[in-house]
Amino acid sequence: MGVERVREHRRGGAVRQCRRRDDYRRHRRVRRPRGVARQRLGDGGDGRPRQDTKNEALFLRNRADNNTFTGNTIRRTDGRAVRYMNSRYNAFTENTVLSAGTAGEEGVRLAFGSNWNVFRNNTITGGNGAGIGIGSGSNVAIEDNVVSGNAGTGVYLSQSGENYSVTGNVLDGNDAGISTSYVSNAVIRDNTVTDSIGSDGISVHKSSEVVVEENLVKLSERYGINVRHPASSDGGGIVVANNRVNRSNEVGIRLASTVRNTVVNNTVVNAPEPGLFSPPLGLLLESADNNSLRNNTIQNSWGAINITEGSENNTLSDHTVRDTDSGKWVARITNSTGNVVESVDIGDSTAANTVVSFGGRNVSVEVADSAPANPSATGIGRFVNVSNTSGQGSVDLTMHYEDGDLSAVAEDKLKLWSHGGTEWAPILLSTLDTANNTVTTSADDIGDRQTVGIFELPYDTDAAFALPAGPVEPGANVTFDASDSAGDIVDYAWDVDGDGSRDADGQTLEYAFATAGEYAVTLVVTDSEGNRDALTRTVTVADPVPSIPGQANPPTNLDDDPQLEDIDGDGDGDLFDALAYYNNRNTDAIENNPTRFDFDGDGQAGTLFDALQLFNELN
């Protein structure tokens, strides 16, 4: 390598020592055209150039553009191995960076508008900070690199950059795998992230429009994929899709203090490490609102789905849960409202592939390890445990059954039954939907753990009453007739205000609702042997039908829903009704009556979409 010369020169009043050639030129601020700054090259025995340098090995700055740096080995730099500042259109490919930087410094660093750069097929290992760190750079591609054994994050994107592609990389044994902070429009795809020894596999923080898809994330110290804190109150728009997350020590996929993200088609397999004291969770929502989670599969988790800490209005649908830890929850909602869990396939052998849907507050739905002995009624072998988690718990629970379950039971007599530790009892206020193969019930105070299953009633008593056709007006008398109820009925009990207590009795009831709204009316019948059945139906009470300007007749209802499709009142549903709606959509008669004129179901009437929906219905 020759004898290294040292020169002294003054800069800023201080005497500085500079190594021969490169450091001297750097202190004189001489920019290198299309070259490599401060490198001391030699043959490392493999025919490839090798560097062993005091500071950065490669420093591109101040519009050092359109350079290619390839096939080099950089090792043991005191500073960052590679540093870009305000440099563009550069390619860093097929290089090896070993043990770069002092504590906290990246092996590769981009900053200050270093845009349109490519890092591909490099090996970056053993550094004292992040492997690749991007700050204030945009349109950067990080592809097919191996980043391992770094004391910081493998790939770190930060500081208001945008348009990143992080694809096909292997990240192993770093403190964390891939992290974004204050970035937008990034794609993190097809990476393998393993053994993140200090933190998360993939973390998305205060970022927007980030797609995390088709990654394999294994052995994360905390969270496999962690989406936290939105970039704005409008939400992050983060998509987490088609990833596989294995054996994260705390949670597979976490959404925390974030809104309006999508988590779809992921698989979380979270069997804990041997000897791990706190087994991990599958999906966790903490103070997370208005997110959509669909078609995810969770296996071997202590708890599959956990919604907690003020999370509001999230929808979780069509999940599959397998081999949940014994006695732990399939899905749990605590201190949160407005959340809906739809169609969770429990799939454990003890639960006979039970599918459940539920919503509520402070409620947990769990695998029924061993259901109590069946009551005298015939059941279909599907059970879950429902528990109160904190404070007063409420639940809307739907259990699904299959056509093959009906060979030995009468479908029209199916009810949900509960067992609170003493005996089975039918939940009379169960709603059977034979079209969708479901049985549903609601409870405002679920108390301690109880097992719920589907059985048929062992008697023929059946509550029945008809509803008036279409909405009724406030103050108008409505007659409810229970004469179609089956059995030797000796008592009819009516609840018209939904408080669970008897408001009237008798086979028929005449009642007037004072104001517009939706009212649940319940009938409980008892036969001569003390057998009971119950039925709840909803009555729609709406203000008088308004007159539509320019129409000779008031609008009318053409079916059993509350909407008035016959806008011109001629008794037919046709194109002229859609046209009349469109022409009068901004009138008070339509805009102020969403119960009758909201055809697209968004809660508002008089929009163009309502007119289009009406046109589609009538055609």
Domain ranges of the chain: 346-457, 477-541, 553-619
pLDDT averaged over every residue in the chain: 82
pLDDT for the residue numbered 44: 39
Distance of alpha carbon 40 from alpha carbon 70, whole angstroms: 16
The tokens describing 523, both together, are: 């009938």
Distance of alpha carbon 388 from alpha carbon 370, whole angstroms: 19
Of 306, 294, 246, 241, nearest in space to 270 by CA: 246
Parallel/antiparallel/unpaired status of strands 96-98 and 73-75: parallel
Q: Count the neighbouring beta carbons within 10 Å of the beta carbon of residue 584.
A: 20
36 pLDDT exceeds 50? no
Burial (0-12, 13-18, 19+ Cβ within 10 Å), 209 = middle
17 pLDDT exceeds 60? no
pTM: 0.74
Length in residues, the chain: 619
pLDDT for the residue numbered 287: 92
321 pLDDT exceeds 50? yes
Judged by DSSP in three states, 581 sits in helix
The tokens describing 314, both together, are: 């999230």
| pLDDT tens string 133-180 | 888 778 999 999 999 999 999 999 987 678 999 999 999 999 999 999
Q: What angle do CA 166, 58, 74 make, to 5 degrees?
A: 80
Most confident of 140-154, 356-370, 446-460: 140-154
pLDDT for the residue numbered 247: 86
Contact of 539 with 519, CB cutoff 8 Å: yes
Among 194-208, 280-294, 346-360, 534-548, which is the least confidently predicted range?
Answer: 346-360
Q: Count the neighbouring beta carbons within 10 Å of the beta carbon of residue 520.
A: 14
pLDDT for the residue numbered 325: 59
Residues with Cβ within 8 Å of 217's Cβ and at least 6 positions away in sequence, in order, are: 177, 193, 194, 201, 202, 224, 225, 243, 244, 245, 246, 248
Of 452, 373, 368, 458, nearest in space to 409 by CA: 458
| pLDDT tens string 117-145 | 999 999 999 888 888 988 877 899 999 99
Contact of 557 with 470, CB cutoff 8 Å: yes
Q: Count the neighbouring beta carbons within 10 Å of the beta carbon of residue 586.
A: 10
pLDDT for the residue numbered 127: 85
553 pLDDT exceeds 90? no
What is the band of 619 on the pLDDT scale with cuts at 50, 70, 90?
confident
Which amino acid is it at 316? Answer: L
293 pLDDT exceeds 70? yes
Among 50-59, 176-185, 286-295, 400-409, which is the least confidently predicted range?
Answer: 50-59
Among 243-257, 382-396, 552-566, which is the least confidently predicted range?
Answer: 382-396
The tokens describing 220, both together, are: 């994360």
What average pLDDT does the segment 72-86 reach? 83
Quick one: DSSP state of residue 548?
A: P
68 pLDDT exceeds 80? yes
What is the band of 516 on the pLDDT scale with cuts at 50, 70, 90?
confident
What average pLDDT does the segment 565-574 reach? 89
What is the band of 55 on the pLDDT scale with cuts at 50, 70, 90?
low
What average pLDDT does the segment 403-422 reach? 87
pLDDT for the residue numbered 40: 35
- Helix-strand-coil percent breakdown of the chain, rounded to 5? 5, 45, 50
List residues bridging with 208 in a β-sheet: 184
Quick one: DSSP state of residue 476?
A: -
Of 445, 435, 438, 320, nearest in space to 392 by CA: 445
| pLDDT tens string 242-290 | 999 998 888 999 999 999 999 999 999 976 555 555 568 899 999 999 9
Residues with Cβ within 8 Å of 530's Cβ and at least 6 positions away in sequence, in order, are: none
What average pLDDT does the segment 473-480 reach? 90
The tokens describing 208, both together, are: 């927007």
What is the band of 602 on the pLDDT scale with cuts at 50, 70, 90?
confident
34 pLDDT exceeds 60? no
CATH class for the domain made up of 477-541: mainly beta
pLDDT for the residue numbered 385: 86
